[in-house]
Amino acid sequence: MSGSAGSSAGAISGRESYTELTQEQLATILPELLLSGQLIDRSGMAHLISAFGRDVMAQIAIEEWMAASPVYTHRMRTALGIAGDGVEDMFKCLQLDIGAPPQFMDFRYEITDKYHGSFVLAHCGALMDVEPMGDDYVTAMCHDIEDPTFDATAIATNRRARIRPVHRPPRLPTDRSPHCAWTVTIEPDRDELPLPPDAEWMFGMAIAATELTPIDELATDGVVDYRGPLFEDLQFRQWSRSALVRIAQEVALQHQLLALGFERALARRAVDSKQRDDVFRKQLTGIAGITAERLSAALGLPGDAEGLATVLTLHPVLGPAQYTGVLAEVVNDQVRVRIPQDSAAMRDGGWMTLLTADHLEPLQAAATAVESHWTVGDATIRDGALEVVIAPGDSHQESGEVAIVRFSSGATFEFVNRGIPLSITPVSG
């Protein structure tokens, strides 16, 4: 995993997520947050396959991403001043998309002119996870899922954009590199693609209008927007602390958007609400554990109460706080987690609705990942919130839901420092 950036002076419990982190800490966890978003599907898809089979799993994945990506791409464009409608603008958004975490999904971009470009994946971590399962699963991911979801992402920049393959897996020869190659074209006489119906629904939810911490445009400690040239890699340490806070909050919101898309697609296939909640909760439990482990290691946090409270405060499945209202704080060497029952997240019907007094498996998975002796105990409704106490207790084994996510190479992926990135200029004038 990425190296330690040093722990904070105490447990972080700010009402606005990530605002108490240093610039270095934010730069360290942003790749982690993006990778966490990618691993949501590694957590959820195994349970879909078990319940419904490969074909239904693929269809749920398509609907999930088509619902979420136009919304979160629009939000990131707005936050960072990405106002253009060309391929450069699209590529900027992809660099900050949980579907394309840096290095794990190693996109390499080329711009021909404003409306034409291409990219390859020099390394595709998702392919490395799926390839051992056989060509049918590879085709489901790289053909059936990618075609509609790439276009859904592209239309947030320009509805006349199309992303089409040059080559893609199954790989022939089996060691072919780069793993895939794609062209991006925007033609003025082409029909505009419509907004997917589920994305229209998502734009009407509270999450789409959630206000996050504004970027200080006068900050002098680094980049405050992405209005300039496209860079081959994003070196987050070059960004201002204020911008990093906002980007981290937006990436956490991407998690919540993807979860809502997953739940909506899952609900169409589940035989009843019990099956829907069971699969949905297993997805949440798996990603809760893996991400807690990686965040704790990335920041070099201790396994004590302050370390656990900090991880829960930074955890994207519990945030951003402006949307979920979740608060984790240290009380007498224990950690108390407050989950408001009237938040926008509750009203939208996403992950937060799964955390009840009878079902706290996701919190236990996160706590166990920080230190195995943390035990989720009393849970009561008080002052409009579910209060959960996490205290030292017996050692806990990792849950099966978390173990499933470990099959992904993303669970142990190590980020490297690639140095100062170069800007990408058009091939033609």
Domain assignment present for residue 232? The answer is yes
Domain assignment present for residue 83? The answer is yes
Report the pLDDT value the prediction gives residue 107, as an integer from 0 to 100: 97
Side-chain half-sphere CA neighbours of 112 within 13 A? 9
**What's this model's pTM, rounded to 2 decimal places?**
0.95
CA–CA distances in Å: residue 311 to residues 84, 213, 394: 36, 20, 20
CA nearest neighbour of 41 among 107, 100, 92: 100
Domain assignment present for residue 284? The answer is no
User: Which element (helix H / strand E) includes 290?
Assistant: helix 273-298
Report the pLDDT value the prediction gives residue 16, as an integer from 0 to 100: 84
The answer to whether 409 touches 124, Cβ cutoff 8 Å, is no
Q: What phi, psi does 82 have (nearest 5°)?
A: -90, 90
pLDDT tens digits in sequence order for the chain, 429 residues long? 344 444 333 455 557 899 999 999 999 999 999 999 999 999 999 999 999 999 999 999 999 999 999 999 999 999 999 999 999 999 999 999 999 999 999 999 999 999 999 999 999 999 999 999 999 999 999 999 999 999 999 999 999 999 999 999 999 999 999 999 999 999 999 999 999 999 999 999 999 999 999 999 999 999 999 999 999 999 999 999 999 999 999 999 999 999 999 999 999 999 999 999 999 999 999 999 999 999 999 999 999 999 999 999 999 999 999 999 999 999 999 999 999 999 999 999 999 999 999 999 999 999 999 999 999 998 999 999 999 999 999 999 999 999 999 999 999 999 999 988 889 888 765
Domain assignment present for residue 329? The answer is no
Report the pLDDT value the prediction gives residue 9, as an integer from 0 to 100: 37
Range of the domain at 149: 23-249
Domain assignment present for residue 61? The answer is yes
Domain assignment present for residue 111? The answer is yes
Report the pLDDT value the prediction gives residue 387, as an integer from 0 to 100: 98
Structural domain count of the chain? 1
Report the pLDDT value the prediction gives residue 406, as an integer from 0 to 100: 96
Residue appearing with tokens 């464009």: 77
Domain assignment present for residue 294? The answer is no
Q: What phi, psi does 161 have (nearest 5°)?
A: -80, 145
Domain assignment present for residue 236? The answer is yes
CA–CA distances in Å: residue 127 to residues 36, 102, 154, 259, 411: 16, 15, 21, 22, 14
CA–CA distances in Å: residue 293 to residues 135, 302, 371: 32, 11, 9
